[in-house]
Structure 1
C-alpha cells in the first residue's frame, strides 16, 4: 500500500476490522479516518489509533447501510 492510498475508502467509518498483530483485542469498529490515521474502537483493546501506512487492518465487514432493509 502506498502513502497516498485512500484509507477512508478502504476502512470507512463503521467498518468492522481486526488487527492481525493483536488478536486478543478482538473485533474493532472504525470510528474515523484522517490521512493514514485510523481510529478503531476494539472490543477488548479499547480505542486505538492505527497508522494504516505501517499496519494492515483486516477488513471483516463494511459498514451496514440502513437502506438495505427497504
Structure 2
C-alpha cells in the first residue's frame, strides 16, 4: 500500500480519523512514511502513513 500521507509536512495540522478525541495535532516530521504528530490530548504519536490516512485541517 502507498503512503497515504506523503504530502504532509512539518507544521501542518491534522486529525486522526478514528481518534477525534485526540484533537487537532501538528505534524512534527514525515520520514520514510512514519509521521510524528503532536496531539493536544494524546501527546506525541508516530503513525504509519501506509495504514492511516490523517485528515488535514485547513483554517479559513
Mark the CA change 1:45 to 1:6 in structure 2 (over 3 Å): closer, same or farther: closer
Following superposition, the deviation at residue 24 of structure 1 comes to 0.7
The residue aligned with 2:2 is 2
1:13 paired with 2:24, answer: no
- Please say which structure displays the higher CA radius of gyration: 1
Give me the CA root mean square deviation.
2.0
Higher relative contact order (CA 8 A, sep 6+): 2
In 2, distance between residues paired with 1:6 and 1:46?
20
Corresponding residue to 1:31 among 28, 31, 36: 28
Mark the CA change 1:54 to 1:45 in structure 2 (over 3 Å): closer, same or farther: same
Could you list the runs of 4 or more consecutive aligned residues of structure 1 that deviate by over 6 angstroms after TM superposition? none
Which structure: greater helix fraction? 1
Gaps of 5+ in 1: 63-70
Give TM-score, length-normalised by structure 1. Answer: 0.75
Q: How many residues align?
A: 59
Gaps of 5+ in 2: none
